[in-house]
Structure 1
């Protein structure tokens, strides 16, 4: 896997640009741990995705990929409809599998000691019958790095908030236990550039009004 942060030199390395987009808003946002459930965008989310699409038209996007979840597919389809690209569903971009927690409200989870462990020891904790954070980051990073050197234009990958935060932690060398030190908001964009043997984050959590 790639490691390190890219440092400018006199050469001209092949740069692969990836725009990581979090899906737009839905009714369960901030209230329910949606996980891999079929949660659709609400009207505000549809407007967010359309607004984002208009800003992304200036980027040389060559392909659009999205998590199989409904809300990511809808977000990606709205963007693709504006720029004339079809969406490819990619399992590696899927939400974390929260197992038995899927669909439960955050208020219900508040008294669960396993939930507390998940939020304080994200690098090692695993949801009951679910997927650990490290495993989710590993599959996502492996997919992204498989694009390094591809001459297909910018890749737009629509995925989920914690997945994006995990990828950012990976490339900044930040322990996953500190994943809550920054935000990744709905319909925001995080720009990642991959070079041979290295990577650079151009920006994180950029929103468009």
Structure 2
């Protein structure tokens, strides 16, 4: 999918929420906060496509979740944009507790996993975070950056559920609905924060 032009913004702070590139556990394992899986060949290609797109965006800063797969993606983008990657713990992957690193085949037999995916607004992970807690920290981070550097353009390299949750927050959707839209590896979703609040101007677009 070709990227659309960046929306015009006045007195707004722009956040491009980027999902990290693909890796070999994708679709098989709930990587979560377990392990240090690197990008695979496809993930590297996606990160390079993001880097070409980012050089046209007049980026103020690049923030990344501390997970290796996000830092690797952010570093490829940062090299092209001639910026340093700043680690932002508030952009970290949702803590899935005992589910971190488990195969989806194993999780599919767990009734708690089924409830989690049916009722994200109220269900809990086993010993980890709730959806609300994870998104509260992510949104608080965006608000703090917007307050400190209003009008800037920022890249935030993070994770699928974090992006879905923040998009749902700014759209006023229940977290129960976040599995109704996709956030692909290497995609960009954009949130604009201004005096009247936040709005979503781009969802799940992938640079060519």
Query: Normalization by structure 2: what TM-score?
Result: 0.92
* Aligned residue number for residue 26 of structure 1: 23
Following superposition, the deviation at residue 44 of structure 1 comes to 1.3
Distance in 1 between residues matched to 2:48 and 2:88, nearest whole Å: 22
Following superposition, the deviation at residue 148 of structure 1 comes to 2.0
Following superposition, the deviation at residue 13 of structure 1 comes to 5.5
Q: Check the 8 A contact 2:12/2:151 in 1, yes or no.
A: no
* SS of the residue 1:26 aligns to: coil
**More displaced, 191-200 or 162-171?**
191-200
Instruction: Give 5+ residue unaligned stretches, structure 2.
Output: 1-8
Instruction: Give 5+ residue unaligned stretches, structure 1.
Output: 1-11
Q: How does 1:44-63 map to 2 (within 5 A)?
A: 44-63=42-61
How well do the aligned residues superpose, as a CA RMSD in angstroms? 1.3
* Aligned residue number for residue 163 of structure 2: 164
* SS of the residue 2:145 aligns to: coil
Distance in 2 between residues matched to 1:202 and 1:179, nearest whole Å: 17
- Deviation track 1:114-165 (CA, whole Å, cap 9, x = no partner) reads 0001000101111111111010000000000112241473110000000000
Distance in 1 between residues matched to 2:11 and 2:202, nearest whole Å: 19
Following superposition, the deviation at residue 36 of structure 1 comes to 1.0
* SS of the residue 1:28 aligns to: coil
Q: How does 1:70-149 map to 2 (within 5 A)?
A: 70-149=68-147
- Deviation track 1:23-64 (CA, whole Å, cap 9, x = no partner) reads 000000011000012121112111110111101110010100
Moved over 4 A (4+): none
Aligned length: 198
* SS of the residue 1:148 aligns to: helix
Q: Check the 8 A contact 1:148/1:196 in 2, yes or no.
A: no
- Deviation track 1:158-201 (CA, whole Å, cap 9, x = no partner) reads 00000000001001010001111100000000111100131121
* Aligned residue number for residue 204 of structure 2: 205
**More displaced, 191-200 or 29-38?**
191-200
Distance in 2 between residues matched to 1:167 and 1:118, nearest whole Å: 17
Distance in 2 between residues matched to 1:51 and 1:168, nearest whole Å: 23
Query: Normalization by structure 1: what TM-score?
Result: 0.92
Distance in 2 between residues matched to 1:55 and 1:15, nearest whole Å: 21
